[in-house]
Amino acid sequence: MTPSISATHFLFLLLILSSSIAYSQQDEAFFVKKSMDKKLLGLETEQLSHLRLYWHDVLSGENPTSIEIVPPISDKFISGFGYIRMIDNALTEEQDRSSKLLGRAQGLYASASQDKVALLMAMNFVFTSGKYNGSSISLYGRNPWLENVRELSVIGGSGLFRFARGYATLHTVEIDIAKGNAVVEYNIYIFHYADSIALF
Ligand SMILES: *[C@@H]1O[C@H](CO)[C@@H](O)[C@H](O)[C@H]1NC(C)=O
């Protein structure tokens, strides 16, 4: 008697187990399309490119592109801890603001350090000219802007910059302390899958 009961139990357990495996396989298969061919998305050859752009942070004048949306928490912190600025800054080919406009840096930066001067930056560089018009790269990271060279991460991209990854070095080439304006050179090194970058 006893052995046949445990055999029944065993079969019953097996049935539950196998049906739950079948369900989980079914669930997975339902939304995960496996083993996609990279060629279908034009992702055959990854390349490394260097882009150089000039970022214009304009706080003053009639048409500022960098606007404070949250003021500092208090005047207790020399770093202005807590302030947030929204930006739609011009990105040009040369340091001169009137040189060719390549795109815009859209996003925000915030004072994220209490005892040091350091910003949290989150931006999309959206290109507005030529082949890369409409494509973008996303940058994110820490910017202790008083230092000579800073570094941000390229965390992704869209359009011709899909699957982009890499980093950017930032170097301030012009600063007007009274007005708060600055021009920063961005050298961006990215892996991506598009054709060669003729623009830069
Ligand atoms: C960029 O794309 C937009 C939207 O498709 C278009 O209106 C604009 O004329 C394009 N600019 C250039 C310079 O090709």
129 Cβ closer than 6 Å to some ligand 1 atom: yes
- Does the C-beta of 24 come closer than 6 Å to ligand 1? no
CATH 3.10.450.50 describes domain 46-193: no
pLDDT tens, 20-38?
A: 555 555 556 677 767 777 7
Distances (CA, A) of 121 to 7, 14, 22, 141: 64, 54, 46, 5
Probe target for ligand 1 pocket from 101, 128, 133, 158, with the most ligand atoms within 8 Å of CB: 133
- Structural domain boundaries of the chain? 7-31, 46-193
Which of 126, 127, 128, 135 gets mutated to test ligand 1 (max ligand atoms within 8 A of its CB)? 128
Separation of alpha carbons 80 and 121, rounded Å: 15
Give residue 199 CA to ligand 1 midpoint distance, Å: 15
46 contacts 193 by C-beta, under 8 angstroms: yes
What is the whole-number distance in angstroms between the Cα of residue 112 and the centre of ligand 1? 36
pTM (predicted TM-score): 0.82
pLDDT in tens, 107-137: 999 999 999 999 999 999 999 988 899 999 9
pLDDT band, very low/low/confident/very high, at 170 (cuts 50, 70, 90): very high
State how far the Cα of 173 lies from the Cα of 186, in Å rounded to an integer.
10
Residue 200 binned pLDDT confidence (cut-offs 50, 70, 90):
very low
Q: 52 - beta bridge partners?
A: 187
199 in Cβ contact with 129 (< 8 Å): yes
